[in-house]
Amino acid sequence: MNEDQKQKIRQRYVYLVNNLTDPRSTGLAAHLYQDGVIELRDRQIVEKEKATEDAIKHLLDAVMNSSHQGAFDCFLKLLKEYGQDYLANVLRQSTSSDGTGLCDVCPKDKKHPATSVCLDCNELMCSSCADYHRRTSVSKEHRLNELTAALTDKCQVHPSLYLKSYCPQCDVLVCERCMVDTHKGHTDAWKDAKTTAEDLKCKVNGIIDEIKDITLNKPSIEKEEQTRLADLDEQRQRAKQAIETRVDEVCKLAKVCAEKAKEEVDKAYFGLKLQLQITNKINSLEKQLKAYENLLNDASVSSVVKNHAEWETSLKEMLETHSPTSPVPVLRFQTITWIETAIQQAMGAVVIGEITPTLITQHQLQCSKDPKEYPIAVDSMPGGDVVVGTGCDADKNNRRIIICSSTAGNVKKEIKVTGLRGLTVLRDVTIAATVYDGSTQEVRIYTKDGGVKSSFKCSTPGRITVNHEGHLVVMDASTATCGKVNVYRTDGTLVRVFTDISSKPVQYSKYITTMPSGDVIVSDPNDWCIRVYTPEGQLRYTYGGEGVMKFPRGVCVDEDGTIFISEIHADNIHQVSPAGQFMRYVLTAKDGLWGPQAVCINQEGHLVVAQQDGWIKTYTYK
């Protein structure tokens, strides 16, 4: 590499460090080594650097010090191949006369300073050329931006030019050459640097004024503070009074239990006393013995042989009952080990803020243990009945739709569905189920009596839900990282399709639900997150990931748009705001939760959880 080429890289060194894609992840260092531009040692250092900036700096130094004759051209070529051709253009223009802020339209020997930039032609223009450009019929509709007076800061990419404009998309100041080069296409609401600075000052001053308003309102704030503190004191007193009341209740309960225990002592006493008082029974015993003696003396040989066993048994019972040497029962009161936590549970707990979820009902499905059967989906019908879909990894024939009451769990209907993958309850109280069994790949709509109302073909269907329009939203069950989300009408007409992309190999089925707004939520146990899409399939945001959530399964949304995600291995359920912010663990193992597989919100607004062990639990949570 010659000195001119090295100089070009030095001039743009800072810009390259800030904008070059991490060479450790793109393979740029490996490609440069293969082309003979850098040595093996340099490649190894770049790929082992911990910081991206250090890796880029070492790579640039290695390229500049390369003995390869075509190192510079090879570097530019690879920048283009790796999608950073704008950096290659920056390096080519580093010492070009085109980057001096002169008009691109004027003749080369009579160039004037540029005063405007045409965003449609990507050219700088002096005032005369700009006026002619505006008058020409072909270009009179073009967007020309005036270049404001020079500022003190110069562009790092084009050192001879001042930073005169502001790119709102990138939130940075740029020169006129950057506007048509690296920031090409960022044309919305261009502003000159000075105007932008004034606007930003006004914005900051607005916040300052708000803070000043707080300080000016100090008397009213102090009054509000006193009111809140007084209210807090009342809360404190009420809480303490509630504790004293609870102590009285526990003591009263203990006294009631004590009285019951005393009654049991008396009952046992009189029973034992009756057993021990055998003196008065001697006369009766003598009469019975006399009767047996007479019976024995008068009995024939055959009668003795026939009845001796019965006589012996009766006489032994009389002996054991009336013998003064028989064991005497001991009457005592047996206490149990004192457990402080039991008293704490009876007393209650101090709670600040959020409402503790309450278990309303629970029942366990009768699932086969060998092969193992477990819930894979849950939904609720009007009236409270719970609809559960079960799966079985070892036997695809052992899959069912179970309709049961929400209270006692009585099974009202059982529908065997080979290859069942998911289900959802529709507005007309029918059940839409996805079936994936070899060549049979379809969506079936069942009546609550178990009859098939209709069906339609659907390729590799997985979990299913229904959106605010009454359309069926089906998640692709294939193992491709780019899974399809299909939206159908109930008659099988395809409305739209979009793609959900996992970054990791797909080994586990994804769950799906929708929000009241129509947004679609995909719960991905492979990427340990949920992804929220617009109805058309544009990604809004992602929640979760490593360190936040591990192996999420079922997902549901309440009428407020609050999201609930079951985390099966951590035995908890995340409560997430509609905007994707963590709110709390609404349920955990401390609430008796174990292996939450699927979740739904029932008609009463309660949270229903289907556990891996077959327990179906319903909670209030707000």
Q: Does 285 fall in a domain? A: no
Q: Do residues 495 and 587 both lie within one domain?
A: yes
The answer to whether residue 471 sits within a structural domain is: yes
The pLDDT score that the predictor gives to residue 100 is: 44
Parent domain of 419: 358-620
181 and 152 in one domain? yes
Asked if residue 401 and residue 476 are part of one domain, the reply reads yes
Q: What is the mean pLDDT of each run of 10 residues along the chain (622 residues)?
A: 78 75 84 88 86 86 86 87 74 47 79 77 82 88 68 69 79 79 67 77 84 80 82 79 83 86 87 71 75 83 84 80 60 66 66 75 91 94 92 89 88 94 95 94 95 95 95 91 91 95 91 95 95 95 90 93 94 92 90 94 94 94 84
Q: Which two tokens stand for residue 211?
A: 């803070």
Flag whether 339 is in a domain: no
Say yes or no: 33 and 167 in one domain: no
In total, the chain counts a number of residues equal to 622
Omega within 30 of 0 (cis) for the link into 371: yes
Question: What is the phi/psi pair of residue 53, to 5°?
Answer: -60, -40
- Segments of 407-538 assigned E as strands: 411-416, 420-425, 431-437, 440-446, 452-457, 461-466, 472-476, 482-488, 494-501, 511-514, 520-524, 529-533
pLDDT digits (tens, 9 = 90+) for 166-185: 888 888 888 877 777 777 77
**What's the Cα-to-Cα distance from 279 to each of 138, 228, 267, 283, 356, rounded to whole Å?**
132, 79, 22, 8, 64
Please name which of 285, 268, 416 lies closest in space to residue 330, comparing C-alpha atoms.
Answer: 268
Q: Tell me, yes or no, whether 81 and 133 share the same domain.
A: no
CATH of the domain at 194: 3.30.160.60
Residue 608 lies in a domain: yes
Q: Are residues 53 and 160 in the same domain?
A: no
Residue 383 belongs to domain with CATH number = 2.120.10.30
Note the pLDDT of residue 95. 38
What would the pLDDT profile of 245-269 be if each residue is shown by its tens digit?
878 888 888 888 888 888 988 888 8
Residue 273: Cβ within 10 Å count: 10
Residue matched to tokens 């609720």: 380
Q: Where is the domain boundary, 76, 92, 108? A: 92
CATH number of residue 38's parent domain: 1.10.533.10
Q: Is residue 248 part of a domain?
A: no
Neighbour count for residue 601 (Cβ, 10 Å): 19
Q: Are residues 164 and 77 in the same domain?
A: no
Q: Which long-range contacts (CB under 8 A, 24 or more apart) does 303-308 make?
A: none
pLDDT at 474: 97
Which one of 184, 203, 222 terminates a domain?
A: 203
Confidence at residue 360, expressed as pLDDT on a 0 to 100 scale:
92
Q: Kindly state whether residue 414 falls inside one of the protein's structural domains.
A: yes
Which distant-in-sequence residues (6+ apart) come within 8 Å of 281 by Cβ? 322
In this structure, is residue 316 part of a structural domain?
no
Query: Burial level of 18, CB count in 10 A (0-12/13-18/19+)?
Result: exposed
Q: What is the pLDDT of residue 566?
A: 97
Among residues 374, 395, 377, the alpha carbon closest in space to that of 386 is found at: 377
Are both 21 and 117 inside the same structural domain? no
Domains of the chain: total: 3
Is 600 found in the same domain as 556? Answer: yes
451 in the same domain as 396: yes
In a domain? residue 220: no
- Give Cβ neighbours of residue 43 (< 8 Å, ≥ 6 apart): 29, 30, 32, 33
What are the φ and ψ backbone dihedral angles of 534, each rounded to 5 degrees? -70, 165
Looking at the fold, whether 108 and 40 belong to one and the same domain comes out as: no
Residue with tokens 């992602």: 542
Are residues 64 and 145 both part of a single domain?
Answer: no
Please give the Cα distance from 584 to 566 (Å, whole number).
Answer: 13
pLDDT, position 78: 87
Q: Which of 49, 69, 92 is the last residue of a domain?
A: 92
